[in-house]
Amino acid sequence: MIIASGFVETDNSVTEIKWSPIDVTLALPGDSTIVQAVVGKKIRVLSMFINTTVALSLALKSSAAITKIPGLTLAASIIHRFGGDLSNYVIETNVNEALIFNLSLAATVRGALNYIEVN
């Protein structure tokens, strides 16, 4: 339930909705940290939009070793939107772990995401 602009009620507490830009340029396929880990918290992505310079496969990860969403196929030069419904989030990391994008090809990926930090 949205309480006020920029805040949401989760687990009987009010949580700030945060925003992070996505600006990744990799010369080789691999990982890029999008949101740093927060001690004692999970990162729950509520919505995101992304655009890529080339068609590629994107995996969303919680730490370098744990793939949460493998192989999203993204077309080049199209805005891809995910989420937007507070009851159905895009991805949630494990506690104390960062949100990481893994790109299958060298590329530039840009966009933004909204997330909250939860216990």
Q: Which pLDDT score is estimated for 5?
A: 54
The secondary structure element, H or E, covering residue 44 is strand 42-52
Structural domains for the chain: 18-118 (2.60.120)
Q: Which pLDDT score is estimated for 27?
A: 95
Closest by alpha carbon to 28, among 96, 100, 107?
A: 107
Phi, psi of 93 (to 5 degrees): -75, 170
pTM of the shown model? 0.88
Task: List average pLDDT for each run of 10 residues in the chain, which is 119 residues long.
Answer: 57 82 95 96 94 96 91 95 84 96 96 93
Q: Cα–Cα distance between 114 and 66 in angstroms, integer?
A: 21
